A and B are shown apart, each in its own frame.
Chain A
Amino acid sequence: MSEVRRFLGDAGLVAARDLRIEFRSRVVVGQVVPFALLVLVLFGFALDADHRTLRMFASGLFWVAVLLSALLAVHRSAALELSDGTLDALRMSGLPPAALFLGKATAVFVQLMLLEVVLLGGLLVLYGVQVVDPMLLLVSGLLAGVAVAAAGTLYGALASGLGVRETLLPILLLPVLAPVLIGATRAFDDALGSVAVDGWAWTGLLAVAALIATVVGALAHGVLIED
């Protein structure tokens, strides 16, 4: 049991570190979140729409904005280890790679939650949506966030290689997250009352995706950071 506590302690250590860095550098808060809001605004311009139309598409636009911003957040998380040889130091430290993965993924998850909250505010204000089922919104938002954070952190480790791989991240990550996009959008459609679908069934799918992403990420992270 103490091994588990030790493991979680290690993960917590890494998560706290990443969040502390974010707190000081304010990259996600200062750059990624505004980017996400900007995407929402751009959609508004591009669709040249009235509130009614925007409300119909709100959940899809929301999740596209989240995914695009998640790319930035994940890349930032991976980039923390690229400069100054900290990745080597992490390998030397004896921290289990799975704990490292969990810690970083948790930090990304927290940042994504913040992002989702702000974007939701954006939806409420800019698109005029109404929340019909807040519980569904919360749960599906959380689970989708876990899936995105886990898959993103895993593939972010791939980006800790040669410089050219940074541009690979979107190509690798986005197709993998297609089911999450579909599921989260449907769940939000239900929660925002725009389409009559069974949001909770979709949330179940999201839960499966989140679980798989976390387990696979924990197992595979070690492979990806080694030469």
Chain B
Amino acid sequence: MAGRYRDGVPVVELRGAVALLGNFPALAGVDLTVESGEVVLLRGPNGAGKTTLLRLCAGLVRPESGSVEVLGHDLVRERRSVRRRVALLGHATGLYDDLTVNQNVRFWARAAGLSAVEATERTASALLRMGLSERLLGQPVHTLSAGQRRRASLAALVVRRPGLWLLDEPHAGLDQSGRDVVDGLVGDAVAAGATVLVSSHELERVAGLGPRVVTISGGVVVDDTGPAVGGGSRV
């Protein structure tokens, strides 16, 4: 699966995007354009709409109004088509508690359309990359710690090799080595040409990648350092 998107076409293009959670306007008119290969850090107070924005880009939330285009798909009309090509790491684990780590990741690999052989291969390498020790692989997920589960969730996403990564507070609840793993993941994704949107309160960790920083508050974008790499005087 290609990491790099077609040159010249933005990976994400939102104009006046409004999204509701029930009757509450989580996003009240977001304008955002993200080019291929960019790393974008989303920050903002709690309740600003960061999670909803990520879910919108993943195609899980229906845009109420405005235009939303992700990977060339118009999400107002064809929400489902974009999902396969995107990986969303949310607050939930996305894993079945009663199945083992191996069984879980392999299931998600097969569900993403990989053949049995490919799935086995990629599962093994993804789990290795995520730093999960051998003995954990055969254990049911409910016996794992939160940090270990997070790594397993990431492994389940890594096997898909998506062109767009949407990470919602990936460092939360992880210890130092866990956070290093996430950083490594983001680095790998960037190197492979994928685009990454990260929502995080931990600026320092992502800073090393010279990200563009987009600040969200009250459901709209209030600040945007722009596509320039390096960010000038900002962290």
A/B: CB atoms within 8 Å of each other: yes
- Residues of A participating in the B interface, judged by any CB pair closer than 8 Å: 10, 13, 17, 20-21, 24-25, 80, 83-86, 88-95, 227
- Residues of B participating in the A interface, judged by any CB pair closer than 8 Å: 58-62, 80, 83-84, 86-88, 90-99, 103, 107-108, 110-113, 140, 156
A94 partner, pick from B83, B97, B98, beta carbons under 8 A: B83
A84 partner, pick from B87, B96, B107, beta carbons under 8 A: B96
In the assembled complex, how far is the CB of residue A52 from the closest CB belonging to chain B, in whole angstroms?
A: 45
How far is A85 from B58 in the complex, measured between Cα atoms in Å? Answer: 14
A227 partner, pick from B62, B93, B108, B110, beta carbons under 8 A: B62
How far is A227 from B87 in the complex, measured between Cα atoms in Å? Answer: 19
How far is A24 from B91 in the complex, measured between Cα atoms in Å? Answer: 25
How far is A92 from B55 in the complex, measured between Cα atoms in Å? Answer: 10
Residues of chain A within 8 A of B96, CB atoms compared? 17, 21, 80, 84, 86
Residues of chain B within 8 A of A92, CB atoms compared? 58-60, 83-84, 86-88
Are B97 and A93 in contact, CB atoms less than 8 angstroms apart?
Answer: no
Are B97 and A13 in contact, CB atoms less than 8 angstroms apart?
Answer: no
- State the 9 A-B residue pairs at the shortest beta-carbon distance, nearest first: A85-B92, A94-B84, A89-B94, A93-B111, A24-B98, A25-B98, A21-B98, A92-B83, A84-B93
Residue from A10, A24, A84 whose CB has the most chain B CB atoms within 10 Å: A84
Are B94 and A88 in contact, CB atoms less than 8 angstroms apart?
Answer: yes
Which residue of B has the minimal Cβ distance to A89?
Answer: B94
What number of A-B contacts does a CB cutoff of 8 Å give? 68
Are B84 and A93 in contact, CB atoms less than 8 angstroms apart?
Answer: yes
Residues of chain B within 8 A of A20, CB atoms compared? 99, 103
Residues of chain B within 8 A of A80, CB atoms compared? 96
Are B107 and A85 in contact, CB atoms less than 8 angstroms apart?
Answer: no
Are B98 and A88 in contact, CB atoms less than 8 angstroms apart?
Answer: no
Are B95 and A84 in contact, CB atoms less than 8 angstroms apart?
Answer: yes
B60 partner, pick from A10, A17, A91, beta carbons under 8 A: A91
How far is A85 from B60 in the complex, measured between Cα atoms in Å? Answer: 12
Are A91 and B61 in contact, CB atoms less than 8 angstroms apart?
Answer: no
How far is A63 from B218 in the complex, measured between Cα atoms in Å? Answer: 55
Given the interface pairs A17-B96, A88-B88, the reply to whether A10 lies near B62 with Cβ below 8 Å is: no
Are A94 and B95 in contact, CB atoms less than 8 angstroms apart?
Answer: no
Residues of chain B within 8 A of A24, CB atoms compared? 98-99, 140
How far is A215 from B58 in the complex, measured between Cα atoms in Å? Answer: 29
| Inter-chain pairs besides A85-B90, A86-B94, 10 sampled, C-beta below 8 Å | A84-B93, A86-B96, A88-B94, A90-B111, A92-B84, A92-B86, A93-B108, A93-B111, A95-B111, A227-B60
Residues of chain B within 8 A of A227, CB atoms compared? 60-62
How far is A146 from B99 in the complex, measured between Cα atoms in Å? Answer: 26
Given the interface pairs A92-B83, A92-B88, A227-B61, the reply to whether A83 lies near B99 with Cβ below 8 Å is: no
Which residue of A has the minimal Cβ distance to B166?
Answer: A92
Residues of chain B within 8 A of A21, CB atoms compared? 96, 98-99
How far is A95 from B90 in the complex, measured between Cα atoms in Å? Answer: 19
Are A10 and B111 in contact, CB atoms less than 8 angstroms apart?
Answer: yes
B107 partner, pick from A17, A25, A83, A94, beta carbons under 8 A: A17
In the assembled complex, how far is the CB of residue B93 from the closest CB belonging to chain A, in whole angstroms?
A: 5
How far is A80 from B97 in the complex, measured between Cα atoms in Å? Answer: 9
Are A84 and B94 in contact, CB atoms less than 8 angstroms apart?
Answer: yes
Given the interface pairs A13-B111, A91-B60, A93-B108, the reply to whether A84 lies near B86 with Cβ below 8 Å is: no
Which residue of B has the minimal Cβ distance to A96?
Answer: B80
How far is A92 from B111 in the complex, measured between Cα atoms in Å? Answer: 10
Residues of chain B within 8 A of A13, CB atoms compared? 107, 110-111
Residues of chain B within 8 A of A89, CB atoms compared? 94, 108, 156
In the assembled complex, how far is the CB of residue B148 from the closest CB belonging to chain A, in whole angstroms?
A: 14
Residues of chain A within 8 A of B98, CB atoms compared? 21, 24-25
Are A93 and B112 in contact, CB atoms less than 8 angstroms apart?
Answer: yes
In the assembled complex, how far is the CB of residue B128 from the closest CB belonging to chain A, in whole angstroms?
A: 22
Residues of chain B within 8 A of A86, CB atoms compared? 92, 94-96
